[in-house]
């Protein structure tokens, strides 16, 4: 995430990953404030077999896009809420030029959770144990939604 101030929202992403026992690392790295840290992190990620990177940033949110420009590891972007209610973050994250994709999720908490679930779904195509957990999660989810509103 681009700032420690994003953690309150992005902890929902980590909690979701943890609930599926997905090994992950959490870092504060800013495309604007700590570009060298970003470069180092990407080099390490390519060496250590990282399969997905989730990048959360707000405002002029370049983190996901710059990350995607520097690696072929799939990048999932989560726009953070901002003074412009996250619309700036969402457009900055989603409106990538053709050739450098960032899969962009909803602004804020829903995006934080869904980015994790999307990473889980992606990994589940390769790891049968993750697929089992995802199927169990989906069936529980189904049971939790009432059939009527009263």
| Nearer CB in complex with ligand RP5: 55/120 | 55
Report DSSP letters for 32-94, one per residue: TT-HHHHHHHHHHHHHTT---EEEEE-SS--HHHHHHHH-SS-EEEEEPP-TTTTHHHHHHHH
- Residue 60 CB partners (closer than 8 Å, separation 6+): 32, 88, 92
Other Cβ atoms less than 10 A from the Cβ of 88: the count is: 17
In angstroms, what is the minimal distance from the CB of 52 to ligand RP5?
19
Q: Which residue has the tokens 């990538």?
A: 96
Interacting residue with ligand RP5 among 2, 77, 86, 111 (CB under 6 A): 2
> Which one of residues 30, 50, 122, 124 is an interface residue with ligand RP5 (CB under 6 A)?
30
Q: Figure out which of the listed residues 53, 57, 76, 116 binds ligand RP5, where binding follows CB under 6 A.
A: 57
- Based on CB atoms, which residue is closest to ligand RP5, 56 or 120? 56
User: How many residues bind ligand RP5, per CB under 6 A?
Assistant: 10
CB of 81 to ligand RP5, least distance (A): 8
> Pick from 58, 77, 86, 111: which binds ligand RP5 (CB under 6 A)?
58
Tell which residue, 111, 106, 2, has the closest CA to residue 58.
2
Residues in the site for ligand RP5, rule: CB under 6 A?
1-3, 5-6, 30, 57-59, 80
């Amino acid at each position: 995430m681009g700032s420690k101030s994003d953690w309150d929202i992005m902890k929902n992403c980590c909690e979701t990953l943890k609930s599926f026992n997905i090994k992950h690392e959490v870092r504060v790295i800013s495309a604007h404030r700590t570009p060298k840290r970003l470069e180092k992190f990407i080099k390490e990620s390519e060496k250590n077999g990282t399969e997905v990177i989730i990048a959360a940033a707000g405002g002029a949110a370049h983190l996901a896009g710059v990350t995607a420009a520097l690696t072929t590891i799939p990048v999932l972007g989560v726009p953070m809420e901002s003074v412009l209610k996250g619309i700036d973050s969402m457009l900055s994250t989603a409106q990538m030029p053709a050739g450098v994709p960032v899969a962009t999720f909803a602004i804020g908490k829903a995006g934080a959770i869904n980015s994790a679930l999307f990473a889980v779904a992606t990994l589940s195509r390769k790891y049968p144990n993750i697929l089992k957990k995802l199927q169990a999660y989906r069936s529980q989810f189904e049971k939790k939604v009432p059939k009527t509103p009263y």
